[in-house]
Amino acid sequence: MSKVYSLSKIAKPVGFGASNSYWLELFAVGKNTGNCRFTVANEFICGRLGSFLGLPIPPFALLQQRGRSDVWFGSIDYSLTGQSLPAIDPDECVKEFPELSTGIIMFDVWIANTDRHAGNLNMDKSPGKPTRLNVFDHSHALFRFDGEVRTAKLINEFAITEKTETGANRQCLLDALKTTDYFDYWHEKFDKIPDFLIEETCATTIEAGILSSAESITAIEFLLQRKSKLRDLIKNNQKEFNSITTWPLI
């Protein structure tokens, strides 16, 4: 799968070193805490953990302008054509990427993402290149808008259907997935996520000033507990997978 991203401008040579380095300018999609103070933390934590799992989340960083205190989440532009890509067709996505689709559903369960609609996945079908799936937009996961009240409420919930909370979307791949072939594969990947990665990722939000120490600890505990319960959350909600008629004995 191609991992090339959009380069806006080759600005000028760095001016030293033997490797002929240049300053580059990149387009990125940015979010700050203007509408919700949890947005940047939600995006950063989910982006880092999803990338570790191997989900095709575009490269990202926490960004800060010189002389300003506000921190942004910036996701590098993934469209080489400069054109916005259309929302996915869930059936097409699952047919093209059944393994990844399974992983995305399970990831959204883990992070309690109630906003995985067809518009925050897309498939890049650039001529001459393999089709690439892009996964983005996790501002409605973890704390969403409500902070620790939300994580306490959803700690034991499936969390990816329209019944979860006001404004929630039913996970867009949930009704299209037709196979259980990849659940064991992804369960093994989730089991191998080290606790220290979750802890260090959430600790970074304190250093960046986007979560308090108490909120960071809450995020750690929420993610660790839900990771340990992921098998049960899937098993206890098999009825939500409307296109899967037969499940293996567990």
The mean pLDDT of 78-91, rounded to a whole number, is 81
Read off the pTM: 0.94
The tally of domains found in the chain comes to 1
Q: What's the pLDDT score for residue 127?
A: 78
- Residue keyed to tokens 């404004």: 167
**Residue 4 in domain:** no
Q: What range does the domain containing 158 cover?
A: 24-240
What's the CATH code of the domain at 169? 1.10.1070
The 10s digit of each residue's pLDDT in 37-46 is 999 999 999 9
- With vertex at residue 58, the alpha carbon angle to CA 161 and CA 36, rounded to the nearest 5 degrees, is 55
Read off the pLDDT of each residue in 62-79 and give the average, rounded to a whole number.
Answer: 91
Q: Is residue 10 part of a domain?
A: no
Residue 145: exposed, middle, or buried by beta-carbon count in 10 A (0-12, 13-18, 19+)?
middle
Kind plus residue range of the DSSP H or E element containing 216: helix 213-235
Taking the chain, what is the end-to-end CA distance rounded to the nearest angstrom? 33
1 inside domain: no
Instruction: Please report whether residue 12 resides in a domain.
Output: no
CA 134 to chain centre: 10
CA distances from 242 to 49, 61, 175 (A): 28, 37, 5
118 part of a folded domain: yes
Supply the pLDDT for residue 82.
63
* pLDDT the model gives residue 41: 98
Of 45, 44, 175, the residue nearest 105 (C-alpha): 175
Domain assignment of residue 206, yes or no: yes
pLDDT tens-digit profile of 108-139? 999 999 999 999 999 988 777 888 899 999 99
Residue 31 within a domain: yes
Residue 216 located in a structural domain: yes
